[in-house]
Chain A
Amino acid sequence: MFELALAWLPRFLAAAALTIALSAAIFAISGLVGLALALATHETKSAAPRRALEAFSGLFRAVPELVVLFFVFFGGLQIGLDLGPIGATLVAFGLVGIAYDFQVFKGALAAVAPGQFEAGRALGFGRLKLYTIVVLPQMLPIARKGWLTYAIGTVKRVSIASAVSVSEIMYVTKQAIAATNAPFLFLSIAVALYIAVVAPLLAFNERRA
């Protein structure tokens, strides 16, 4: 049994590396775009773009990630756009992540006292300076918990990409079980890898700030 585990270990480690890399990329895409969209809607006076964004965000938060992933992967193929499993995973989870992070940052922006904006403007700060010096340092700590909670979930959600044969942890687990018929061994390895990655993040997010 030990030899079996050892033989599969390199594939599991590569799978864990892929899970981490995909999660990091999705974290970056959804954080940056979600923040940019939240700031942009805060700045704009017109209601139409805000409504469109809320509809986008509501849609992608209500539909299962698996369905979004199939939509991007198979829908892409239907219109002749072959993103590949990894490309489709990044696009699908990126869109869902943007939908969540937009809400997190929108909430955090709303929690910054209006007087802060007025004070910044009264000091003659331009928009860039207002946001980088006054607003962001106040809103990011407010957003931190919700933002990280979602990001930690992303590490686990990437397991869904096994459905389009991305060779992350769950996909390799399934392959190993099919090849060797030793489910407990490989599920234990998978669970150990997830705990090794997620537990420190959970503990970090739950410590009393």
Chain B
Amino acid sequence: MMGWLADPAFASLLVRGFATTFLLAATVVVASNLLALALAIYLQQPAARLRRLVLAYSFFARAVPALALLFGLYYGLPAVGIYLEPIPSAVAGLVFASTAYNLEFLRSGFESIAPGQREAARALGLRPAIVYAKVLVPQAYASAAPALFSNAIQIVKGSALASLVAVDELSAASTTIVAETYEAIPVLAFVAALYMVIAGGVLALQYLYERRLR
């Protein structure tokens, strides 16, 4: 039943698929978290003039399926003469979708901080950059972390959608192998286990982060 695993062609498909999924998900997690932090800090500024635009983006990105965004880049860009490789195109679509969620989590993280914290930091004469770096951001993360970590797992899962726009990641590898071997159950169970390895890695990071907080 697991004979297909010994086939070097299938094994290398799986290895490359796993590596692509891992790198794709890691890139999207890092990029969407950095962008979300920048936007969340921006929204904290009373003078944020593009506030409405950022909020409209967030609403749009959360109302539309990630798959529609991926199709938009995949079918839409070539129509206007822009040719992106499948992977950068998938990264762009997934980052667009996940940044909005991370932004919402960080926004409520910042809102949960007692106003006295900011005032006290200012009263100590700290520069605004230090107020954020040392006082506000760590507290926002303390309350947003569980949601951000579970969104990271959503991103790992969402990366499977890239297989529908021509990225040869883990799910694409599994459909190729299933199409050739007809061994849907063992192949997909094995691939599911590989996804759980990555999700397990995220949970391990979360555990380490939460232990450090205590």
Contacts and interface: CB of A to CB of B under 8 A. Distances in A.
Interface of A: 59, 61-68, 70-71, 74-75, 77-79, 156-157, 159-160, 162-163, 170, 173-174, 177, 181, 183-184, 187, 190-191, 194-195, 198-199, 202
B76 A59 contact: no
B71 interface: yes
B184 A77 contact: yes
B65 A170 contact: yes
Contacts of B62: 198, 202
B60 A66 contact: no
Contact of B63 (A61, A160, A174, A202): A202
Interface residues of B, number: 39
Interface in B48-79: 59-60, 62-68, 71-72, 75-76, 79
A197 B65 CA distance: 12
Given A74-B178, A75-B185, A183-B75, 7 more contacts: A64-B156, A67-B192, A70-B178, A70-B184, A156-B64, A162-B67, A202-B59
A82 to B, nearest CB: 13
The 10 A-B pairs of least Cβ separation, nearest first, read: A64-B160, A74-B184, A156-B65, A62-B199, A183-B75, A159-B65, A64-B157, A71-B188, A198-B63, A63-B192
B163 interface: yes
Nearest to B202: A62
Nearest to B77: A183
B68 A70 contact: no
Contacts, number: 112
B66 to A, nearest CB: 7
Given A74-B178, A174-B71, A187-B68, A59 B185 contact: no
A17 to B, nearest CB: 17
Nearest to A199: B63
A190 B71 CA distance: 11
B33 interface: no
Interface in B134-182: 153, 156-161, 163-164, 171, 174-175, 178, 182
Contacts of A74: 178, 184, 188
B11 interface: no
B103 to A, nearest CB: 14
Contact of B59 (A63, A75, A199): A199
Contacts of A65: 157, 160
24 contacts: A62-B195, A63-B195, A66-B161, A66-B171, A67-B171, A67-B174, A70-B174, A70-B178, A71-B188, A74-B184, A75-B188, A78-B185, A79-B185, A156-B65, A177-B71, A177-B75, A187-B71, A190-B68, A194-B64, A194-B65, A195-B63, A195-B64, A198-B63, A202-B59
Nearest to A160: B67
A67 B190 CA distance: 11
Nearest to A70: B188
B112 to A, nearest CB: 15
A61 B202 CA distance: 13
Given A170-B68, A195-B63, A202-B63, A67 B195 contact: yes
Contacts of A174: 71
A192 to B, nearest CB: 10
Contacts of B87: none
Given A187-B72, A199-B63, A78 B184 contact: yes
